[in-house]
Amino acid sequence: MTRNCLASIFLCLLASWQIGLLPGQETTPVSKSLKEQIGGLSLKQLEQRRTEIIEELSILARYSMRSGVGSIGYRSMPHETPYNTEWFQIQLEEESTMDEIVLIPAIWRDAKVGFVSDGFPIEFKLIAGNQSDQPGVVVASFTKDDKYLPRIAPLVIPIDHVQASWVRLEATQLSPRAYDGRYILQMSEILIVSGDQNLALMGKVTASSEQRAGSGAWHKNNLTKGFLPYLMDAAEGPSSLAYVSEEDVGDTPTITFDLDAAFPVDEIYLHGVEQGDTVPQAYAGDFGVPRWLQILGATQADFADQKILLDIKVSGSLDTAPLLMLPLKANTSRYIRLVGREPYKLEAFNIEGIPIASNRIGFAEIEIFSKGKNLSHGKIPVTNFKTESVNRSISALTDGLNLYGKILPLREWVHQLARRHELETEKPLVDEELERRYDRQANLLRLFSWAIAGLITAGVILYLVDRYLRQRAIFDLRNRIAADLHDELGANLHAVSLLGELASKSKDDPEKMNGLIERMRALVQRTSKAVKYCTNILETPGLYEDFEDAMKRNTDRLLADLDHQLIFEAKDTITKMRPGKRIDLFLFYKECLINIIQHSGSTHAETRLITEGKNLHLQVTDNGRGFSESQKNNVPLSLRRRAKLLGGKVTIASPQSEGAQIHLFMKI
């Protein structure tokens, strides 16, 4: 039984090892379904998932935040409670089909946890419509149960090809701003995407309320300027230094592109000179950008048919960003020219420390788009100023690279940032689940170690116990054989002696003497057989099944010359008794009879075998010499040995002035 218990414990531990860990208490603001999905993975799947996340993160664009001065976005009026409705609406140039809407959060630098979103709505809906006097339809809605916060990444919202001329974001539960804990609606940028185009770029914005105090970094029109709070930091491609002119470019510098064919150009992206080369920056974020910039388009190389596609003035850092996304007037052009009507003026010092000022121009990349396709990539522009530079080449304007690597399409860029947010939200959960599983494994290993040590210890104990039991069985067998030999031989030899005396006395009666001799012969044969089989007497089939009859026969044989009375009231009890117990009880009784005929000198004996409750009581009484005072507490060794084999208790007494009583009590 001990071995079975140990095996069961081992199997339970093995089953626990295979089951794994159940999902634990949620500790991060993520959807329950994601937590359940992760908890339902096997250990191998979790390890594979973590590897996949790490590998995918390594190829995604990174969060690199803008520094310096610049416009931030839109901010509503503050409230004391979160449940206030605030909204802003973007008017598109014309009715268009939308693929998705991308919300860029306003970002706050928290002293403890780093960058966090600030004032992003907790519950909101997006409404799209075609006529300003119509309510529109809800194309997407979010609540706090969607658990899309916290985030600093773009929130990409797929829209199933909805046609609209305006889009409204309506917030019904606001979040507190980090500055003073008051509840506001804040947003850095909104992109309304169709294919590879941002339909919201430079769109007209209306809002329920607006807070414009301060430098002007907060303004509702900032929502559609394309001034994202990130630097384009792709995870692929080599680094490329921006082109910056080294010498004065004159009063009207130009950069001209030949697109090789005429295209309907619609957008131009101007990537500013790298913003992250030093900390802090030596110059503001508008370095190298002309204060007044015109973009001309023509189909002839001499620009005889030129048209102004864009005319923009920059008053300072609030009007620029690391990426200027500028819409162009619809026009089909082969040649595109950037004209610095008012170049950027660099005020610095020469080696001798003398103040100098010169007009400069510089960009990291210039992308000219026609329906989302960059036409300028790899085309070397022509300038009206000297472009030679030791470290910076004019080819950097169209090599598709910036200081951080490859320049990504806008839609791909924001999608990678959004995907990074999803993976960086999932990875801690996977790590947490793996750590829990590893801890479980470590605990199970410890349990296994203890279980194995316990099994080894139990095995040693079982071996020792088994060895002890075997030795004890051998010892008991020797005692039993000795007792059987003593009882059987002693009784039979004594009976032979008595029969010999009787035969001697009956020599004058041949018939009686022959009878006694025949009994002696049968007894000798029985004794010989007992000696031969005494070692396996317990296995003798059918031995003493009729216990009462066996007692009578042996009593008549051993107490042939005595008056004897047998009272047998335990037939049912004896029938239920195991054969080995019956044999031991019979031999105990036989030893009592031998003691009577050998030592008592009695003429009368009485035997009682009765059931008393849960005990079996054997009482043997004679009217012989009895026991002396010194013998009353000294039960004969042969009886003690038999009583021990029976698991019973034996006592002796002298109930009258003469005679003796032997009592055996044993549990049924």
pLDDT in tens, 258-275: 999 999 999 999 999 986
Query: What is the mean predicted confidence (pLDDT) over 215-244?
Result: 92
Query: What is the mean predicted confidence (pLDDT) over 536-553?
Result: 70
* 92 and 236 Cβ atoms separated by less than 8 Å: no
Q: pLDDT higher for 490 or 352? A: 352
Please give the Cα distance from 155 to 157 (Å, whole number): 6
Q: At 667, which CATH number?
A: 3.30.565.10
At 104, which helix (H) or strand (E)?
Answer: strand 86-104
Q: For a pLDDT cut of 90, what percent of the chain falls above it? A: 55
Name the band, by pLDDT with cuts 50, 70 and 90, for residue 394: very high
Question: How many separate domains does the chain show?
Answer: 4
Q: Are residues 109 and 241 in the same domain?
A: no
Q: DSSP for 455-487, please give it.
A: HHHHHHHHHHHHHHHHHHHHHHHHHHHHHHHHH
Name the band, by pLDDT with cuts 50, 70 and 90, for residue 657: low
Q: At 187, which CATH number?
A: 2.60.120.260
Residue 107, burial from CB neighbour count under 10 angstroms (0-12, 13-18, 19+): buried
Residue 23 confidence (pLDDT): 35
Q: Is residue 471, in this structure, part of any structural domain at all?
A: no
Read off the amino acid at residue 371: K
Q: For a pLDDT cut of 70, what percent of the chain falls above it? A: 86
Query: What is the mean predicted confidence (pLDDT) over 296-300?
Result: 97
Q: Which of 229, 254, 271 is the last residue of a domain?
A: 229
Please give the Cα distance from 418 to 412 (Å, whole number): 10
In this predicted structure, which of 74-88, 252-266, 425-439, 524-538 has the lowest mean pLDDT? Answer: 524-538
In this predicted structure, which of 193-197, 287-291, 425-429, 529-533 has the lowest mean pLDDT? Answer: 529-533
Give me the sign of the Cα torsion angle 503, 506, 510, 516: negative
Residue 474 confidence (pLDDT): 61
CA dihedral 295, 300, 302, 303 (to 10 degrees): -30
Q: Are residues 20 and 71 in the same domain?
A: no
Residue 414 confidence (pLDDT): 96
Please give the Cα distance from 309 to 79 (Å, whole number): 43
Q: Are residues 191 and 89 in the same domain?
A: yes
Does residue 17 carry a pLDDT above 50? Answer: no
Range of the domain at 11: 2-61+421-464
Residue 389 confidence (pLDDT): 77
Q: Is residue 511, in this structure, part of any structural domain at all?
A: no
Q: Are residues 86 and 210 in the same domain?
A: yes
User: Hey, how many other C-beta atoms are within 10 angstroms of the C-beta on 374?
Assistant: 19
Q: Is residue 489, in this structure, part of any structural domain at all?
A: no
Residue 581 confidence (pLDDT): 84
Please give the Cα distance from 110 to 603 (Å, whole number): 115
Does residue 522 carry a pLDDT above 80? Answer: no
Q: Are residues 306 and 386 in the same domain?
A: yes
Q: Are residues 237 and 221 in the same domain?
A: no
* 125 and 142 Cβ atoms separated by less than 8 Å: yes
Q: Is residue 502, in this structure, part of any structural domain at all?
A: no
Q: Are residues 202 and 78 in the same domain?
A: yes
Residue 442, burial from CB neighbour count under 10 angstroms (0-12, 13-18, 19+): exposed
Does residue 473 carry a pLDDT above 80? Answer: no
Query: What is the mean predicted confidence (pLDDT) over 9-28?
Result: 40
- Three-state DSSP string of 214-241: CCCCECHHHHHCCCCCEECCCCCCCCCC
Of 224-238, 465-479, 500-514, 542-556, the range with the highest mean pLDDT is 224-238
Residue 351 confidence (pLDDT): 76
Does residue 513 carry a pLDDT above 70? Answer: yes
Q: Are residues 74 and 193 in the same domain?
A: yes
Query: Taking the mean position of all CA atoms in its chain, how far away is CA 195?
Result: 41
Q: Are residues 205 and 282 in the same domain?
A: no
Q: Is residue 586, in this structure, part of any structural domain at all?
A: yes
Q: pLDDT higher for 520 or 299? A: 299
Residue 11 confidence (pLDDT): 45
Does residue 5 carry a pLDDT above 60? Answer: no
Q: Is residue 481, in this structure, part of any structural domain at all?
A: no
Structure tokens at 141: 């809605």
pLDDT in tens, 310-344: 999 998 888 999 999 999 998 999 999 999 999 99
Residue 532 confidence (pLDDT): 58
Q: Is residue 474, in this structure, part of any structural domain at all?
A: no
Q: Are residues 90 and 203 in the same domain?
A: yes
Cis ω before 176 (30° cut-off from 0) = no
Residue 106, burial from CB neighbour count under 10 angstroms (0-12, 13-18, 19+): buried
Q: Are residues 427 and 359 in the same domain?
A: no
Instruction: For residue 218, give the nearest of 195, 253, 191, 185 by alpha carbon.
Output: 185
* 122 and 156 Cβ atoms separated by less than 8 Å: no
Q: Are residues 290 and 242 in the same domain?
A: yes
Residue 637 confidence (pLDDT): 83
Q: Which of 229, 249, 268 is the last residue of a domain?
A: 229
Query: What is the mean predicted confidence (pLDDT) over 494-509?
Result: 71
Residue 215 confidence (pLDDT): 75
Q: Is residue 484, in this structure, part of any structural domain at all?
A: no
Residue 446: C-alpha distances to residues 5, 21, 90, 441, 442 (Å): 20, 16, 63, 8, 6
Q: pLDDT higher for 202 or 530? A: 202
Name the band, by pLDDT with cuts 50, 70 and 90, for residue 234: very high
Does residue 470 carry a pLDDT above 90? Answer: no
β-bridge pairing 344-349 and 362-363? unpaired
pLDDT in tens, 406-439: 999 999 999 999 999 999 999 999 999 999 999 9
Residue 176: C-alpha distances to residues 146, 183, 217, 300, 420 (Å): 18, 4, 19, 56, 25
pLDDT in tens, 39-63: 999 999 999 999 999 999 999 999 9
Q: pLDDT higher for 398 or 20? A: 398
Please give the Cα distance from 244 to 252 (Å, whole number): 16
Please give the Cα distance from 577 to 546 (Å, whole number): 12
